[in-house]
Amino acid sequence: MKYFHSDEFLATFVPILVYWVYSGVCMMLYSMSFVRCHRLHPEGDDTENVVAKSEVIPVVLLQQVIQATIASLVFQVDSKILVIFSSSTLTIYLDFLLSMNEVSNKILSTNSLSILAHLQITSKDIVAITTYPPPSSIMVQAGQILIAMLVFDTWQYFMHRCMHHSKFLYRHFHSWHHRLVAPYAFGAQYNHPVDGILIETVAGALSYFISGMSPKTSILFFSLATIKGIDDHCGLLLPWNPFHMVFENNTAYHDIHHQLSGCRYNYSQPFFVMWDKILGTYKPCSRKQRLGKGLEPRH
């Protein structure tokens, strides 16, 4: 029962809740007439998609079950590693206290109160020290999130590109995601399970471990990554979208990748475009007004 009130539980399931809430908001916005001029796809364009929306939902749910299972295992492994390292540090610290205690007894008297008695260290304190490290400052957490973003992007770029350049991997796994020629919000995590694990789940695990973030910080990071992934697939280029003000990698940029003529470009996702620029797969996009009925990404 303790697990259901933990940061690990929230870090596992909050991003899934965020996925369906935010994608629902995006789908609702997409259906409204006042945003029609900001759509990347005309009405009826989703007929180009090879898979129906009713088929997308169960596949996304399956990926999220797999994702939650692996996330739970990752947090268990991380807690064990934390206890091992913290226990080692605590052992050194207690050895120091014991030596200081012996010195104090010799200097003061054998009847004097010991340092350990003053400290009143109990087994509960040891568990608390080894299980719950002190919270990081906001600046440290911000740095950890930035590192996680860079790790996440790096893994996704190279694995994503590998999926496209290997005929076997593309045909059997990654081609599922490209059945959505005109992507939409809740199709962001429509992947073959193997593709989802290799590109997204492993990227998340590496980002978590390498950045050194806590489960509490990871709630924010994984929710942010989830929202950004949905935003890149939602088909709406809204002028007041804060993501589009900060990141060049946006829904129009990623939409180029989903087009048949652009599928060998713009592999970067979901935050930066640095690897595309460095390795020659960058294809900038412009938007052309489609006779008052929306925007058309051009490259």
pLDDT of 117 reads: 47
Share of the chain above pLDDT 90, in %: 58
Which tens digits make up the pLDDT trace of 189-198? 999 999 999 9
Least-confidence region, from 153-157, 172-176, 253-257 = 253-257
Output the pTM of the full model.
0.80
More confident of the two residues 113 and 196: 196
pLDDT of 100 reads: 57
3-state secondary structure the chain: CHHHHCHHHHHHHHHHHHHHHHHHHHHHHHCCHHHHHHECCCCCHHHHCCCCHHHHHHHHHHHHHHHHHHHHHHHHHHHHHHHHHHHHHHHHHHHHHHHHHHHHHHHCCCCCCCHHHHHCCCHHHHHHHHHCCCCCCHHHHHHHHHHHHHHHHHHHHHHHHHHHHCHHHHHHCHHHHHHCCCCCHHHCCCCCHHHHHHHHHHHHHHHHHHHCCCHHHHHHHHHHHHHHHHHHHCCECCCCCHHHHHCCCCHHHHHHHHCHHHCCCCCCCCCCCHHHHHCCCCCCCEEEECCCCCEEEEC
Which tens digits make up the pLDDT trace of 208-265? 999 999 999 999 999 999 999 999 999 998 888 999 889 999 999 999 999 888 889 9
